[in-house]
Copies of this chain bind each other. A is one copy, B any other.
Amino acid sequence: MNTAVNNTKNILLSKGITPTFQRIVIYEFLDQNRIHPNVDTIFAMMTKQIPTISRTTIYNTLNLFMEKNLVSGLSLNGNEMNFDINTHPHHHFYCTICKKITDIEITCPIGKNKLKNPSNHLIQEVHGYFKGICKDCLSAPSLDK
């Protein structure tokens, strides 16, 4: 008996999601690889484990996970969604050179304190992200900055 899979099954069931094989594998990939992958990356990785999986199932699953607040969607570069398993509140950093998305821990969290909301809008989600050049790309000697 696989404990990790059973744990995932319980998480999905607790959210009212039928724990199909595909959904379990996608969930575990997101949980164990915190790289904010896009659909293409998820599809490529899933194909290794489930050769017959389709992009439609990836999209179906991610949209379902978003509805059920299991994952959140990041829209950072205007042309694709990136996916993140919801845990504690944090922001993101997008490197314009290597395109990697990394987590930024929040010291002064947007929306968490001292943020006046003079607009009377109902705020349901708070998103903060930065763009720039990550430290790895900064230290790469061959790069023009």
Contacts and interface: CB of A to CB of B under 8 A. Distances in A.
Interface of A: 73, 75-78, 80-81, 91, 93, 95-96, 102, 104-105, 107-108, 110-111, 113-135, 138, 145
A108 B105 contact: no
Nearest to A105: B118
4 A-B pairs closest in CB distance:
A125-B131, A124-B132, A75-B78, A120-B135
A76 to B, nearest CB: 6
Given A104-B119, A107-B115, A122-B133, 19 more contacts: A75-B78, A93-B123, A96-B124, A105-B118, A107-B114, A107-B116, A108-B115, A111-B130, A119-B134, A120-B135, A120-B138, A121-B132, A122-B138, A122-B145, A124-B131, A124-B132, A126-B130, A127-B129, A127-B130
19 contacts: A73-B78, A78-B81, A91-B110, A93-B123, A104-B117, A107-B114, A108-B108, A108-B110, A110-B128, A111-B130, A120-B138, A121-B138, A122-B134, A123-B132, A124-B132, A125-B131, A127-B127, A128-B128, A128-B129
